[in-house]
Structure 1
């Protein structure tokens, strides 16, 4: 009997040895947004990684702030799509980006570039005016939905009680011939 038990336990690994940790199922390169600049880096990374949660983390959380998220679309896009952006909230933002990223192949490359035009930064609030270029290779191109979006946005940010910078207001403007980001939100809402 003792020999039998010894034989059973001889094949077992030591239960007290340390094992190799498993890699995370959804690795993330999210950077704690200790400065306003990092918020825009995180937005870029969220698109590259197709990570909805990290995209949403860049926006104000009403449990940590008195502000709520406000998106002000390009005037032309708003006029062409009445009611679409009325009361646009973070839930709408999540829905659009989720639907957008669901129709982008895993092997496609997304590009989001910001070029700063102007900044006004204080201790707890900041306003950034940024030109942007967003290129997304999605699976709805056969519906004549563009893959390139360019424009200018004015972002209002705050430092929340945790010391993280987040966007609480986003105004979008057309900046030439290409459709602005507002148009992308309409198409994938």
Structure 2
């Protein structure tokens, strides 16, 4: 009986699987994140770029002030079309953008001619031209979103920086961030 049980175990081990075969890699169980605690204003901008490239709405949320301490001001020509956006509205827009991405593609945002201007001890203004690239499945808006942004950042009592005001400006009639937000607000 002992011999039979041992033989069955060996037989099962030999036929069950190949112990030395490599297995297929699995997708990570958690979303990739390059988020760093924003102890400097520059870290907020890095986190913003990474939130887009990693399609990470939670990290995008962390870049923005709370609902009572955040304001998006659209480009002047769209101010009558876009209601005031809260941080939660921004997350809806961001998440809807992600749904429009082509599979296995990522958004990228590039800041050009960027400059910080201190406004107070615990706040700065950051001005930059931007280009947001969205490899998307729909064709009702362009892949490249271009414009100028003015971000006002503030330091929290905990010493972490966040965006409390985001102003957008279209440049040369290009499709700008305001139009993108309008497109994805629903």
Measured against the shorter chain, the TM-score band is: 0.7 to 0.9
Query: Between Structure 1 and Structure 2, how many residues are aligned?
Result: 157
Aligned residue for 1:150, secondary structure, equals strand
Mind listing any 5+ residue stretches in structure 1 that lack a counterpart?
Answer: 1-22
Structure showing greater radius of gyration is: 2
Tell whether the 8 Å contact from 2:130 to 2:146 is kept in structure 1 after alignment. yes
Give 1:165 deviation, angstroms.
0.6
In structure 2, what is the equivalent of residue 102 of structure 1? 99
Structure 2 Cα separation of the partners of residues 161 and 24 of structure 1? 34
Q: CA RMSD in A?
A: 1.7
Mind listing any 5+ residue stretches in structure 2 that lack a counterpart?
Answer: 1-27
Q: 1:59-103 deviations in whole A, cap 9, x for unaligned?
A: 1136xxxx6111100011224x2xx32x32111111111111122
Provide the TM-score with structure 1 as the length reference: 0.77
Tell whether the 8 Å contact from 1:77 to 1:183 is kept in structure 2 after alignment. yes
Aligned pairs for 1:8-157 (under 5 A) are 25-61=30-66, 68-79=69-80, 81=81, 84-85=82-83, 87-121=84-118, 122-141=120-139, 144-157=140-153
CA 1:91–1:175 in 2, change beyond 3 Å: closer, same or farther? same
Q: 1:160-189 deviations in whole A, cap 9, x for unaligned?
A: 122111000011001123111000000111
Give 1:117 deviation, angstroms.
4.2
Question: Structure 1 segments of 4 or more deviating over 3 A?
Answer: none
